[in-house]
């Protein structure tokens, strides 16, 4: 009988008799990450690739960003800007981020100490939550929420307190103000606000923001604002984009996040930034330095160039996206969807009930076969999945001919 008779199944022994134990048969992933599975964006893009469907799932543009930015990236790469940039980001990008916020939103940040460059907005969100939340702290957010929010809150051993956005009779998403008030408690550490909002396309109005600001102050919470769609608010929106940090008393307690991916159609570059008062930014930096340390050396100077582009760039970008929104929305209406009109972002959500759909996941999994289009079920972005079970999201950040093809296919439904 082997002296290794008791070794666990799957263990190996080398020629010297040294045993390597088997991995346990159970899932090695920590408990708190198990509910998350694979992100819906990766899953739906894989489905599109597998089926050859038009991918209106994951939100990425199918054209390149401004040529000035692309040229600057090539030049930076050729000029040898390929080694670690400084931890907080290169000074010219931090300066450009500060100048951009002054120019568009009238809010001042010192590029030295109040602005930090991150690996996309995603890292900024993760580093902010990990930097601010003790185990058991609570994070108030609105659902449906961007999927990384829930995962980051879980990584921090914090608890999410979602407030549900629901469409009214006109398809405009709103929330119960008393429910928001009830979501706050003495354990509230962070309010995580995304406006313009993915996936609903909602742009939070001044009155709503004022209530959020009052509650942040009353409960001494930090606001972390995800404003990656800051330049995508359409002309028929009920109001402009208002950064929460511009409301009275809020600059001192807000970390403002944005990134280049959406505004400059370069989602794969992963250049983002976070701005706020020095102590908050310093706390984020102390976590961020151990996540990625730094990223995207040659892309940083290129994004600095992009941020400084003329108003014409930003206006044209928005006008073109609005036309795309209208093209896709009209096609969806024609096909029988109840469209919930978005005021901003890359996305339009639609109710599938009138088409006989009851479950968005089932509907989206069947859609490539039914008509050759991929969409994303929004129920995966809710704690209260029933609130979004009948709602799916389409991305319209695609070339007009791609949208026209998608509309043609959707008509087959």
Minimum distance of ligand GLN from residue 413's CB (angstroms): 22
Helix 299-307 with 91-105: angle, nearest 10 deg? 20
Q: Which of 53, 54, 59, 117 binds ligand GLN (CB under 6 A)?
A: 59
β-strands 115-119, 138-143: how paired? Answer: unpaired
Binding mask 143-162 for ligand PMP (x = CB under 6 A): ---x----------------
Integer Cα distance of 245 and 210 in angstroms: 11
C-alpha to C-alpha distance for 344 and 237, rounded to whole angstroms: 8
Smaller CB separation from ligand PMP, 121 or 406:
121
Both tokens of 412, joined, read 């087959």
| Token duo for residue 37 | 């599975």
Helix (H) or strand (E) holding 216: helix 206-218
Residue 192 makes CB contacts below 8 A (sequence gap 6+) with: 125, 129, 139, 140, 141, 145, 149, 224, 226
Choice between 281 and 335, CB closer to ligand PMP: 281
In the complex with ligand GLN, which residue's Cβ is closer, 20 or 63? 63
Contact assessment for residue 209 and residue 247, using Cβ atoms and an 8 Å cutoff = yes
Rounded least distance, CB 11 to ligand PMP, Å: 41
Binding partner of residue 322 among ligand GLN, ligand PMP, none, CB under 5 to 8 Å per kind?
none
Rule CB under 6 A: which of 187-246 touch ligand GLN?
Answer: 198
Q: How far apart are the first and last CA of the chain?
A: 66
Nearer of residues 73 and 335 to ligand PMP, judged by Cβ? 73
Residue 359, class by beta-carbon neighbours within 10 Å (0-12 exposed, 13-18 middle, 19+ buried)? middle
Q: Is 228 in the site for ligand PMP (CB under 6 A)?
A: yes
Residues 6+ apart with CB under 8 A from 349: 199, 200, 201, 339, 340, 342, 378, 391, 392, 393, 394
Report DSSP state, residue 264: T
Q: How far is the CB of 16 from ligand PMP (least distance, A)?
A: 48
| Pick 146 or 337: Cβ nearer ligand PMP | 146
Binds ligand GLN by CB under 6 A, chosen from 7, 39, 51, 246: 39
- Applying CB under 6 A, among 61, 162, 201, 272 the residue interacting with ligand PMP is 272
| Residue 300 interacts with ligand PMP (CB under 6 A): yes or no | no
Q: Which does 41 bind (CB under 5 to 8 A by kind): ligand GLN, ligand PMP, none?
A: ligand GLN
Identified binder of ligand PMP from the candidate list 262, 288, 393, 409, rule CB under 6 A: 262
Q: Is residue 36 at the binding interface for ligand GLN, with CB under 6 A as the rule?
A: no
Among 36, 41, 219, 314, binds ligand GLN (CB under 6 A): 41
261 lies in the binding site for ligand PMP (CB under 6 A): yes
Using CB under 6 A as the binding rule, whether residue 122 contacts ligand PMP is answered as yes
Separation of alpha carbons 76 and 120, rounded Å: 19
Residues that bind ligand PMP (CB under 6 A): 120-122, 146, 194, 198, 226, 228, 259, 261-262, 267, 270, 272
Residues that bind ligand GLN (CB under 6 A): 39, 41, 58-59, 198
């Amino acid at each position: 009988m082997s002296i290794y008779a008791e070794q666990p199944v799957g263990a190996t022994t080398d020629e010297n008799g040294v045993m390597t134990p088997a991995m346990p048969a159970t899932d090695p992933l920590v408990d708190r990450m198990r509910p998350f599975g694979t992100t819906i964006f990766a899953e739906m893009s894989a489905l599109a690739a597998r089926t050859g469907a038009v991918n209106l799932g994951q939100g990425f543009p199918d054209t390149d960003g401004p040529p000035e930015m692309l040229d600057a990236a090539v030049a930076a790469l050729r000029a040898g800007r390929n080694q670690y940039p400084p931890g907080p980001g290169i000074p010219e990008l931090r300066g450009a981020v500060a100048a951009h916020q002054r120019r568009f939103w009238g809010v001042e940040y010192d590029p030295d100490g109040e602005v930090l460059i991150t690996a996309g907005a995603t890292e900024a969100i993760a580093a902010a939550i990990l930097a601010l939340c003790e185990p058991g702290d609570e994070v108030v957010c609105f659902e449906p929420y961007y999927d990384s929010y829930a995962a980051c809150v879980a990584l921090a051993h914090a608890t999410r307190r979602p407030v549900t956005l629901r469409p009214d009779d006109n398809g405009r998403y709103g929330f119960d103000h008393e429910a928001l008030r009830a979501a706050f408690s003495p354990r509230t550490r962070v309010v995580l606000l995304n406006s313009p909002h993915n996936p609903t396309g909602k742009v939070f109005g001044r009155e709503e923001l004022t209530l959020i600001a009052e509650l942040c102050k009353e409960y001494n919470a930090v606001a972390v604002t995800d404003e990656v769609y800051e330049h995508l608010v359409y002309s028929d929106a009920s109001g402009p984009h208002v950064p929460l940090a511009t409301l009275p008393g809020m600059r001192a307690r807000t970390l403002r996040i944005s990134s280049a991916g959406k505004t400059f159609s370069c989602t794969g570059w992963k250049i983002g930034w976070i701005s706020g008062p020095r102590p908050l930014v310093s706390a984020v930096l102390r976590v961020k330095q151990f996540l990625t340390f730094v990223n995207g050396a040659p892309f940083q100077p290129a994004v600095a160039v992009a941020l400084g582009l003329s108003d014409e760039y930003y206006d044209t970008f928005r006008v073109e996206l609005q036309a795309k929104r209208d093209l896709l929305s009209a096609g969806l209406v024609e096909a029988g969807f109840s469209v919930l009109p978005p005021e901003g972002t890359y996305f339009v959500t639609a109710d599938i009930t009138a088409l006989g759909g009851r479950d968005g996941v089932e509907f989206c999994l069947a859609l490539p076969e039914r008509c050759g289009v991929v969409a994303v079920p929004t129920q995966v972005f809710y704690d209260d999945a029933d609130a979004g079970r009948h709602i799916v999201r389409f991305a319209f950040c695609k070339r007009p001919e791609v949208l026209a093809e998608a509309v043609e296919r959707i008509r087959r439904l």
